[in-house]
Amino acid sequence: MVGEVVVVAVDSPDDIVTARKAGRDLAQQLGFGLTDRTMIATAISELARNITSYAGTGEVRLSVEQRSGGSALVVRAVDDGPGIVDVARALEDGYSTGRGLGLGLPGARRMMDHLEVTSRPGRGTCVEMWKLVSGA
């Protein structure tokens, strides 16, 4: 599993479900419990929804990598969309540039062990988040 990357193209709302399922399946293979699998899948849904809502297209990449001294399920959501002008603000609860509730990025950050956003206006966004595998 380590080193393998599962890539899910996100081009339509249907792809949100595909990305969510791929994340949940990998989490189950890694031995995550039901609560963690649900949180991982929900966080992936939020990132994939942001891709369809703001960038139009992108991809979600799932892998198992070393993070913080242990194995982790790593999720990268990447797009070539308009980018995020103020990343710090985008991570605040309640802030949204769209019609949403502003819970996407802050909610995903709470569900995972780590979340970081790299974005350049006009050049796209990469959100990387991970959850450590227990006992790893």
Which CATH number does the domain housing residue 68 bear? Answer: 3.30.565.10
Report the candidate in 71, 84, 94 with the shortest Cα–Cα distance to residue 116.
84
**Average pLDDT value for the chain:** 89
pLDDT, mean of residues 107-132: 95
Considering the chain, what percentage of its residues have pLDDT values greater than 90?
74
* Rounded mean pLDDT, 36-46: 95
Total domains in the chain come to 1
User: Mind listing the pLDDT tens digit for each residue in 19-40?
Assistant: 999 999 999 999 999 999 999 9
pLDDT at 99 over 60: no
For residue 65, report the phi and psi dihedrals to the nearest 5 degrees: -140, 165
Alpha-carbon distance of 122 to 85, in angstroms, equals 9
Range of the domain at 27: 5-132
